[in-house]
Amino acid sequence: MEPAQELEKALAELKRITGIALEVRADTPEELELALNQVHCLSLAYKEKYNKNHFLQNLMADGIPAYDIFERSARLHIEPETSRVLFLIETKNPVDDTITEVLKNLFPSQSKTYQVSMGERSLVILRPLKSSETPEDISHIAHMIVDTLNMEALAHVQVAYSGTIDTLMDLPGAYRETSLALKVGRLFYSEQTVFPHNQLGIGRLIYQLPVTICENFLKEIFRGEVPDTFDEETTATINKFFQNNLNIAETSRQLHMHRNTLIYRLEQIERRTGLDIRRFEDAMTFKIATMVINYLQTERNS
Amino acid sequence: MASLSLKGIQKVYPNGFQAVKDFNLDIEDKEFIIFVGPSGCGKSTTLRMIAGLEDISGGTLEIDGKVMNDVEPKDRDIAMVFQNYALYPHMTVYDNMAFGLKLRKVPKDEIDKKVREAARILDLEKLLDRKPKALSGGQRQRVAMGRAIVRNPKVFLMDEPLSNLDAKLRVQMRIEISKLHENLGATIIYVTHDQTEAMTLGTRIVVMKDGVVQQVDTPQNLYNTPCNLFVAGFIGSPQMNFMDAVVKVNGSDVTLTVGEHVLKVPASKKKALIDGGYDGKTVVLGIRPEDVHDSESFIANSPDSVIRSKIKVYELLGAEVYLYFDVEGTQMTARVNPRTPLRNGDDAVFALDMEKIHAFDKDTELTILN
């Protein structure tokens, strides 16, 4: 973009957020650059002082020192000590006007509920928590957000939510937790659309392990020959066997397979991996190992 | 409206979980198709793939002959009603229904026409100025339906839309949805885990389990001729009675032995058991509760299908009575006339209507007689 156009855009942005219309005269490229910088600084200063969204965005991104939080929240009339819950919404496609409008109207109390954009595909709803609301109610709200955006905006979304946030000081931590829930949920529980921050199970543990430790674990388990993937049939057999609590009779029945065929397949897996998943200990190791493999594959792909 | 074709549809999540396997179905224009099955069977995932909310891992989805696999949801001409719907609390019923159209910049007069037409169909005309707070659960549900109707889509997709309503309201709304299907002449795909809802609403039902389609048929056929043990047990309430029975072929006579009870198989059912080589083998005998009779006249006319037991529980439901009793360690249910004299602890004699029995292979669980 040409500097002159950029300046025009910056002035329009300044007018949009402050209502101040400025006229700038810049005769040389240096003057133009200086003017552009100053207009940007003006916009930023105004946002920092008066824009709730900007403040909350910065706060969640750990960009506001603790000593400054209460003063700035008071200036913006944001109650610093009230119970809230954070919903982090991530969309498959970039967030569009339909999504923001649907959410704005779903939570119409703008003085109490804040909708904060956190990137091209993610936004946060910070909603006050009523004393009578239970964890089930919060879960219901998260599902309601997903279903309503599915129905009204025809958008694929996933939602993670935090625990109770009692003061704004806890907001950066809650955002980190919720972001982690979304990442871990997508990785290990991808068939779900709602991820509570406190139900990540063993996925959380694996996600927080350094890659080298994961790799060493796999080398140890599979004696150097880490299976990248199993074929579809083997994966289905293993999943079904685990779903049925290692019950051979039930698994073979559900897979419409003779029990000897199932046993043969399980023995093949043992030959390949060294793990006899009919034994609880090996089954547990295998389950964790497959989760670690998935994690490493995703890490490599990203 | 529209026809749909699902060919070899699969869903495999990145973590390797295969939610739907080789799903094949052709849906005719104006059909009311129900996906039913226990939770986790892949019915919602299939619906979400049709909607475009989940990527299709394999196979082809066509709507009106056009491949839709990679088409964005908003371009598929569908409308959805899901379980956890929410109305915009500060808007009137009218505005709630109009909101989606306003966002898509539909002209005002067109919005007005569509909203009023939907309100007429749903009998919401008198409530258009009310806010959601002032509506009953059923009325709110109808507004949610209205939001879908105003889009005038080719296909309606509904995922357990009634599951947040109480039992009485569900029955009422079932009737409303049925009427809606008739009035709109719409193609509807409806997901539920409730087999009663499936039986009462659908023109055809798809029974699913573990991501696999078990049977696709009309409600009547599913009830009368289930293809396997799972469908037989899942469809019908109270569910079909099952017991292990040994097949004995003696000349032209075929009997099923359940412990001390010997039941004579009627001529219409013999052939499949003989031809299938089941002589001496154990099969699963199935009989619906309404085909277990306690009336003296039926018992007198059916001396070869009598079973004896002690009544464990007597349950009066008004128009009918459920009697629970054990046969060879298996609990059975009989649905009988409320005038029955039988009560808890009574020694009872029942006769099975052998023309209505089902038999399933013990290993494959597939039906033998149909």
| Domain with B99 in it | 4-234
Q: What is the pLDDT of residue A168?
A: 95
Task: Based on the fold, state whether residues B227 and B250 are members of the same structural domain.
Answer: no
How many alpha carbons lie under 13 Å from residue B81 in its C-beta half-sphere? 29
Task: Based on the fold, state whether residues B96 and B212 are members of the same structural domain.
Answer: yes
Q: What is the pLDDT of residue A43?
A: 86
Q: Encoding tokens for residue A61? A: 């991104």
Residue B15 has pLDDT above 90, yes or no: no
Task: Based on the fold, state whether residues A124 and A178 are members of the same structural domain.
Answer: yes
Chosen domain end from B212, B234, B256: B234
Q: What is the pLDDT of residue A302?
A: 66
In a domain, A58, yes or no: no
Counting the structural domains of chain B, the total is: 2
Closest approach of A294 to chain B, Cα-based (Å): 6
Task: Based on the fold, state whether residues B221 and B102 are members of the same structural domain.
Answer: yes
What ipTM does this complex have?
Answer: 0.85
A298 touches chain B (CB under 8 A): yes
Closest approach of A127 to chain B, Cα-based (Å): 15
Q: What are phi and psi of B202, to 5 degrees?
A: -80, 145
In a domain, B368, yes or no: no
Task: Based on the fold, state whether residues B41 and B176 are members of the same structural domain.
Answer: yes
Q: Which helix (H) or strand (E) holds B148?
A: helix B137-149
Instruction: Count Cβ atoms within 10 A of the Cβ of residue A203 and give its class: 0-12 exposed, 13-18 middle, 19 or more buried.
Output: buried
**B73–A154 CB contact, under 8 Å:** yes
* Pairing status of strand B330-336 against strand B321-327: antiparallel
Chosen domain end from A186, A204, A222: A204
Question: Average pLDDT for consecutive 10-residue bins of chain A (302 residues)?
Answer: 85 86 88 90 81 90 90 89 96 94 89 91 95 94 96 95 96 96 90 93 89 89 71 79 89 80 90 90 91 82 69
CATH number of A292's domain: 1.10.10.2840
Residue B197 CA to residue B370 CA, distance in Å, equals: 25
What are residue B255's DSSP bridge partners?
Answer: B248, B264
Task: Based on the fold, state whether residues A197 and A87 are members of the same structural domain.
Answer: yes
Chosen domain end from B216, B234, B252: B234
Within 10 angstroms of residue B196's Cβ, the number of other Cβ atoms is 14
Task: Based on the fold, state whether residues A152 and A216 are members of the same structural domain.
Answer: no
| Chain A CB contacts of B88 below 8 Å | 105-106, 108
A166 CB-near residues (< 8 Å, 6+ apart): A81, A82, A83
In a domain, B366, yes or no: no
Task: Based on the fold, state whether residues B82 and B119 are members of the same structural domain.
Answer: yes
Task: Based on the fold, state whether residues B354 and B261 are members of the same structural domain.
Answer: yes
CATH number of A122's domain: 3.30.70.270
In a domain, B318, yes or no: yes
In a domain, A65, yes or no: no
Closest approach of B310 to chain A, Cα-based (Å): 32
Query: Do B5 and B27 meet the contact criterion of CB atoms below 8 Å apart?
Result: yes
A146 touches chain B (CB under 8 A): yes
Query: Do B7 and B24 meet the contact criterion of CB atoms below 8 Å apart?
Result: yes
Chain position carrying tokens 């919602």: B44
Q: What is the pLDDT of residue A220?
A: 87
| Chain B CB contacts of A108 below 8 Å | 88-90
Q: What is the pLDDT of residue A225?
A: 67
Task: Based on the fold, state whether residues B146 and B253 are members of the same structural domain.
Answer: no
Task: Based on the fold, state whether residues B135 and B193 are members of the same structural domain.
Answer: yes
CATH number of B122's domain: 3.40.50.300
Q: What is the pLDDT of residue B358?
A: 97
In a domain, B39, yes or no: yes
Q: What are phi and psi of B230, to 5 degrees?
A: -65, -50
**A151–B16 CB contact, under 8 Å:** no
DSSP 8-state assignment for residue B265: P
In a domain, A111, yes or no: yes
Q: What are phi and psi of A274, to 5 degrees?
A: 85, 5
Task: Based on the fold, state whether residues B263 and B332 are members of the same structural domain.
Answer: yes
Task: Based on the fold, state whether residues A85 and A182 are members of the same structural domain.
Answer: yes
Task: Count H helices and E strands in chain B, helices first.
Answer: 10, 20
A144 CB-near residues (< 8 Å, 6+ apart): A106, B84, B85, B86
- Helix/strand/coil (H/E/C) assignment for every residue in chain A: CCHHHHHHHHHHHHHHHHCCCCCCCCCCHHHHHHHHHHHHHHHHHHHHHHCHHHHHHHHHCCCCCHHHHHHHHHHCCCCCCCCEEEEEEEECCCCCHHHHHHHHHHCCCCCCCEEEECCCCEEEEEEECCCCCCHHHHHHHHHHHHHHHHHHCCCCEEEEECCCECCHHHHHHHHHHHHHHHHHHHHHCCCCCEEECCCCHHHHHHHCCCHHHHHHHHHHHHCCCCCCCCCHHHHHHHHHHHHCCCCHHHHHHHCCCCHHHHHHHHHHHHHHHCCCCCCHHHHHHHHHHHHHHHHHHHHHHC
Task: Based on the fold, state whether residues B267 and B217 are members of the same structural domain.
Answer: no
Task: Based on the fold, state whether residues B23 and B110 are members of the same structural domain.
Answer: yes
In a domain, A71, yes or no: no
Place B29 in a pLDDT band, splitting at 50, 70 and 90: very high
| Domain with A8 in it | 3-50
Give the residue from chain B lying closest to A228, CA to CA: B16
Closest approach of A175 to chain B, Cα-based (Å): 25
Chosen domain end from B234, B266, B285: B234
Task: Based on the fold, state whether residues B126 and B183 are members of the same structural domain.
Answer: yes
Chosen domain end from A161, A179, A204: A204
In B93-112, the residues whose Cβ lies within 8 Å of chain A are: 99-100, 103-104
Chosen domain end from A179, A204, A229: A204
